[in-house]
Amino acid sequence: MGPLKAVDDRSSLALVPTSPRYGLGLCNSKRIDPRRHCPMKSSSQNRRSRARTMERKAMSLLRNSKSLGHLRQAHALVLKTRLDADNYVVAKLLRTLLAHSSAPGDLLPYARSIFDSVSSPDAFIFNTMMRANLISQRPQETLSLFLRMRRQDGVFCDSFSLSLVVQACGRLMDGDNGRTVHAQGMKIGFESDLFVQTALIEMYARLGSVEISKRILDDLKEPDLVSYNALLAEYVRIGEIQLARDLFDKMLERDLVSWNTMIHGHATLGDVVEARKLFDNARQRDVVSWSSMIGAYARTRQSNEALKLFHEMQLANVVPDNVTMVSVLAACGDIGALGMGKMIHEYIQRTRIEVDMKLGTSLVDMYAKCGDIDSSLSVFNRMDRRDVLTWSSAIMGLANHGSGQAALEFFSKMIAEGIKPNDIAFVGVLSACSHMGLVDEGWTYFTCMSDGYGITPKIEHFGCMVDMFARAGRLQEARELIRRMPFAPDAVVWRALLGGCRVYKDTDLAEEARVNLLDLEPHADGNYVLLSNIYTQKKKWDKVIHVRKMMRNVNIEKAPGSSSIEVDNAVYEFVAGDKSHPRTEEIYQMLSEIFKKLMLAGYKPLTSLVSQDLDERQKEIALAHHSEKLAIAFGLLSTTPRTPLRIVKNLRICDDCHLVIKLISKIYNREIIVRDRNRFHHFLEGSCTCREYW
Ligand code: ZN
Ligand code: ZN
């Protein structure tokens, strides 16, 4: 094992095992109060007395400083009174300063300038700086500070310094330095120091040697919970959940950290059921436990569960933090719960939770997904820092709302601000081009994705391009692109081609698209009907019979279509023909009233969309009870006139519902916003922003 790199060979490790675990002995010199020795006051005494007053003022400012401004004042006083020669004061200043930074690393340069002005910093000051750099993800700095500390005469490392540098080596994956520190630390008596040993457990796990970590833990004479938790956390971090589980089950004692580590481990691996079991069994829970669990539900799109648990969290009087809010907002966006999302936003403002970039982006995304693009943009405009995720949320939002031009402008602004676009931003830009029929511009963006920005187009991007060509009637180019795609086309791609075929009446290509769709979605309802319609049109009777037979053989289980609507901050979900709502009777009464008015306006049900073998009247009833119609009937019943209705549909909205909602928006004078699987439809005064293309 070699000596530490980049170190003068003459400097030997000067380590003194001093501090008790976690409690760092301050190396402050005892200061003598001169007043006790000098009862008489002279002019020099007056000066001293003034100096003391200033000193007391500086220390009191330091103790009570609530802002960076206060701290700067305290720093100025420290310099004026030459207290900067006192290591105790400097350490206090540094610690207060670093505790003030909201984001790790924010105030590090300031701290560093104070540190650099100290002529002979002591171990405590070194440790403070090493720790600040480590938690600010600058392990390299921690290592260099350690090396400098060792070169300085009269300063001895304690177990805190050693554990910090060991952790830094782990994060840097610097096995050479790590092992050297380990070996030399052993030589001078740290082999049983729990603090250092726990750091070593983490370091070896990060270096890929969990066996060594485990051995260190096993060899500890009196391992404590912190050491167990360190190994547990490392197992979880490298995805060895079974090893973590074995260790967890073996532990005689567990604390909040142990439980949280296991909940987080299962949650991040997507095993929500197991995470929930642990969550329910945990004796104590804090904001971390709740946030992990809510985050697990949000990530797996069990959004109602996420919101339910958030409600329970509030009943349990646990104060949520930024991490909780990000997950809850994602859940709101997923199910389009605008009222709930707004409440969260108000809560954030009321409790003055700091809206950092991540939380701001979550708000932008939530409002866009809930159909409130104005609020989304107003949050966006108020943010002082934005990253590519913030921008792409806004771009996607604008594109989905049919504001293609604005989406493209945002994209240009983002580039102008020097932010490199990601693949989501390109999905936004391409769908904007698609909705506006800007095929050639779209193609330029598509090619510059890989040529200009080194982003490999994903299937979504090909889907956008196929959609763009198909909408513009350039069906052969669309087909050609599908052929050249580096992956197997999915249903979205074929459906996009089919959309064009429908508009431009290309039955051959439509047949091809349908056959492929049927392959990919054998259980999807409409595919059979429309394929059989194509064959009927072409008079291919044998094929018509074949499709009918297929329909009977494949047990057509539609993915159940469901629509949700939010009324008074509660989300109500409906499936087709739903009769589970307590106000079912009123809802169906409302529905028949609606249809009477629709018929008067000349509406004819598009019964050809119904695949089941039913008579005409039964088909009409089946259509009339589609989930979005039930949700709208309920919405009209339970809201005051002119309140916009917001519906979220899990599948694509059908042609009949689209037609009906257009008419309802006119007859009832309501703005109705429907988010289906593909985009937003804003219905107002009898028309829709999608211009019949979705
Ligand atoms: Zn429908
Ligand atoms: Zn529409």
CA of 686 to the centre of ligand 2 (A): 11
Ligand 1 center–CA 370 separation, angstroms: 21
Q: Cα(619) to centroid of ligand 1, in Å? A: 12
DSSP character at residue 34: G
Q: What is the pLDDT, as a whole number, of residue 141?
A: 94
Cα–Cα distance between 31 and 182 in angstroms, integer?
A: 37
Going along the chain from its start, the domains and CATH numbers come out as: 386-443 (no CATH), 458-559 (1.25.40.10), 562-688 (no CATH)
Q: What are the DSSP calls for 204-218, one per residue? A: HHHTT-HHHHHHHHH
Q: What is the Cα–Cα distance from 677 to 647, expressed in whole angstroms?
A: 12
Q: How far is residue 420's CA from residue 422's CA, in Å, rounded to a whole number?
A: 7
- Cα(691) to centroid(ligand 1), Å: 17
Alpha carbon of 193 to ligand 1 centroid (Å) = 69
CA separation for the pair 291, 311 (Å, rounded): 12
Q: Are 279 and 263 in contact (CB under 8 A)?
A: yes
Q: Rounded to the nearest whole angstrom, what is the distance from the C-alpha of residue 347 to the centroid of ligand 2?
A: 34
pTM over 0.75, yes/no: no
In the reported structure, the alpha carbon of residue 409 is separated from the centroid of ligand 2 by a whole-number distance in angstroms of 24
Rounded to whole angstroms, the Cα distance separating 203 from 183 reads 14
Burial class (CB in 10 A: 0-12, 13-18, 19+), 49: middle
Q: Give the ligand at the shortest distance from the Cα of 576.
A: 1
Q: What's the 607 CA to ligand 1 centre distance in angstroms?
A: 11
The closest ligand to the CA of 626 turns out to be 1
Residues 556, 93: Cα–Cα separation, whole Å: 71
Identify which ligand lies nearest to the alpha carbon of 654.
1
For the CA atoms of 254, 258, 259, 264, the dihedral, rounded to the nearest 10 degrees, stands at -170
Q: Which ligand has the nearest atom to the CA of 624?
A: 1
Q: Which two tokens stand for residue 101?
A: 């930074």
Distance from the alpha carbon of residue 677 to the mean position of ligand 2, in angstroms: 12
Q: Are 622 and 655 in contact (CB under 8 A)?
A: no
Q: What is the pLDDT of residue 3?
A: 41
What is the distance in A from the centroid of ligand 1 to the CA of 438?
30
Strands (E), 377-445: none
Q: Which helix (H) or strand (E) holds 157?
A: none
Classify residue 191 as left (phi > 0), alpha (psi -120 to 50) or beta: alpha
Note the ligand closest to the C-alpha atom of 563: 1
At 501 the pLDDT is 86
Which token pair is 247?
């260790």
What pLDDT, on the 0 to 100 scale, is given for residue 554? 64
What ligand has the least distance to the C-alpha of 607? Answer: 1
Length of the chain: 694
Ligand 1 centroid – CA 614 distance (Å): 17
CA–centroid distance, 419 to ligand 1, in Å, is 41
In eight-state DSSP terms, residue 473 is T
- Burial of residue 484 (CB within 10 Å: 0-12, 13-18, 19+) is exposed
Distance 306 CA to ligand 1 centre (A): 28
- Distance in Å, CA 649 to ligand 2 centroid: 13
> 123-135 vs 159-172: helix axis angle to the nearest 10?
30
Which parts of the chain register pLDDT below 50? 1-41, 557-558
**Shortest-distance ligand to the CA of residue 562:** 1
CA of 499 to the centre of ligand 2 (A): 14
Centre of ligand 2 from the C-alpha of residue 401, in Å: 11
State how far the alpha carbon of 234 is from the alpha carbons of 168, 213, 634, in Å.
Answer: 15, 9, 51
What is the dihedral angle through the alpha carbons of 586, 587, 591, 592, rounded to the nearest 10 degrees? -30
Measure the CA–CA gap between 287 and 320, rounded to whole angstroms: 6
CA of 400 to the centre of ligand 1 (A): 20
Q: Which ligand sits nearest to residue 653's alpha carbon?
A: 1
CA 674 to chain centre: 25
Cα 656 to averaged position of ligand 1 atoms, centre (Å)? 5
Separation CA 229–CA 292 (nearest Å): 17
Per-residue model confidence (pLDDT) at position 523: 67
Q: Is the dihedral of CA 683, 684, 688, 689 positive or negative?
A: negative
**CA 530 to ligand 2 center in whole angstroms:** 20
